[in-house]
Amino acid sequence: MTDPNGPTQPNESTDATESPEPAVPPDASPAGAEPAGTDTNAEPAPDDTPAGTPDGGAAAAERQTTEAQPTPPAAETDFEGPRRRARREREERRAAQARAMAIEEARRAAKRRATGTDNTRKLGRGAVRGLKALMWSALISVIVVGLGLLLYFTPIMSARNIVIVGLGALTQEEVTNAVAVAPGTPLLQVNTDAVAERVAAIRRVASVRVQREYPSTLRVTVVERVPVVVKDYPDGPHLFDRDGVDFAIAPPPPGVPYLDTTNPGPDDPPTKAALEVMTSLRPEVAAQVARVDAPSVAGITLQLTDGRQVIWGTTDRTEEKALKLAALLTQPGKTYDVSSPDLPTVK
C-alpha cells in the first residue's frame, strides 16, 4: 500500500503552452506539494505495465520524459504560416502580372508589325495607283495636245462653208467680204471675235454672232438695224434706228415717218425724245404717222397721213399717252391733244 500523504503519480497529459520540466524524484518534492504543470483535476492515465512489476515505475518515468519533449509553440506556427503564404501569393501575383505584361507586349508588338505591314502594303498600292493615274493623265494630255495641234495646223476641220443668216437689206457678198476668212482655214485658227468686229463695222448691222460648227462650218448670225425715222439730207434720205444711229442712205421703207429736227443723232435730246414717242405707239397708230416734229423735248407733235395732228408735249407718261391716243383716234376731229393724259381733248 502507498502512503496517502505521499506524492501522487504525475498525469500523462501536459499543458502544451508551458515548457516541460524534468521529472523530479518523489523524495525531492516537498511534502504535500504538486508537481509543476500537473492538472490536479485530471484522472491518472491508465498504465500499460501491470501493477507490482519491477519495471512499472521506470516505464512511467520514460513515458513522462518522452511526452515532455519540447514542441514548437502553436502561436509561432500560426504566425509564420500566413506570412509565408502572403509572401508566396505576392510573388505569384507578381509573376502572373509579369506574364500578362509580357503577353500584352508581345500582342502589341505583333499588332504593330501587322499594322506596319498593312500600311506598307497600302502605301505601296497607293503609290502604284498614283503612278498609274499620273501616267494616264500624262498620256491623255499628250493625246489632247497632239489632237489640238493636228486640228490647228491641218485642214482636217477647216472653214469650207461660211453660213450667213439674218440678212435683210444686206447682201451675202457684203457680209462675206467682212468675214474675210479664206476657205480651207482650220477652224481653230479662226478668231471669231475679230470676225464679229469686222461684221459689226457694217452700219446696217445692229449685232452679230460668229460660231464654229465642226467639222467644217463657220456660222455668222446677223441682226440688222430697223429704220424708225428718216431725215432728208442733200445727198438723200438718211435712215435712223431706234437708238438714233444714222445707218444708211436709202429710200425709206413704207410707213417710216420723216423726222424734223435740227441736229439728229444718238446724243441729240429732241431726236431721242421723238424716237421714244415713236417706239411707244401701237403698230396701227405708228403706221399712220407721216412726220414727227421735234423742235424741243417739250414740243413734240405728230402729223398723221390723213392730215390730223397730235399734240404730244413731253415724254412724261409716254405709255399712258400712247394708250389714250389710240382711243381718241377713233373719234372724229382734227387735233388730238394728249399732252395732259388726265384730260385729253379732241378738236
pLDDT in tens, 125-176: 767 777 888 888 888 988 888 777 766 766 778 888 999 999 999 999 999 9
Q: What angle do CA 110, 116, 118 make, to 5 degrees?
A: 100
Q: pLDDT at position 3, please? A: 44
Q: pLDDT at position 108, please? A: 86
Q: pLDDT at position 80, please? A: 55
- Whether 214 and 238 map to the same domain: the answer is no
Q: Can you give the CATH number for the domain in which 189 is found?
A: 3.10.20.310
| Average pLDDT over all residues of the chain | 79
The stretch 92-120 carries a mean pLDDT of 82
pTM of the model as a whole: 0.56
Answer left, alpha or beta for residue 184, where phi above 0 means left and psi between -120 and 50 means alpha: left
308: nearest Cα among 342, 269, 347, 265 = 347
At 311, list the grid cell.
399734240
Q: pLDDT at position 81, please? A: 76
Amino acid identity, position 33? A
CA–CA separation, 199 and 175 (whole Å): 6
The stretch 66-87 carries a mean pLDDT of 60
- Whether 219 and 241 map to the same domain: the answer is no
- Whether 122 and 190 map to the same domain: the answer is no
At 116, list the grid cell.
506596319
CA–CA separation, 192 and 152 (whole Å): 15
Residue 29 lies in a domain: no
199, 224, 249: which is the final residue of a domain?
A: 224
- How many CB atoms are closer than 10 A to CB 181? 21
- Whether residue 318 contacts residue 281, with contact meaning beta carbons closer than 8 Å, is answered with no
Residue 161 lies in a domain: yes
- Whether 256 and 296 map to the same domain: the answer is yes
Q: Has residue 52 got a pLDDT over 90?
A: no
Q: What is the DSSP letter of 156?
A: G
120, 153, 186: which is the final residue of a domain?
A: 153
Q: Has residue 207 got a pLDDT over 50?
A: yes
At 168, list the grid cell.
435683210
131, 153, 175: which is the final residue of a domain?
A: 153
More confident residue, 249 or 50: 249
Give the count of domains, the chain: 3
- Whether 194 and 249 map to the same domain: the answer is no
Q: What is the dihedral of CA 96, 97, 102, 103, to 10 degrees?
A: 70
The stretch 47-60 carries a mean pLDDT of 47
Domain that holds residue 319: 229-346
Across 75-79, 192-196, 287-291, least confident range: 75-79
The stretch 3-26 carries a mean pLDDT of 41
Q: Which H/E stretch holds residue 49?
A: none
pLDDT in tens, 237-254: 999 999 999 999 999 999
Q: pLDDT at position 39, please? A: 43
Alpha helices in the chain (DSSP H): 56-67, 74-153, 172-179, 192-200, 269-280, 283-286, 318-328
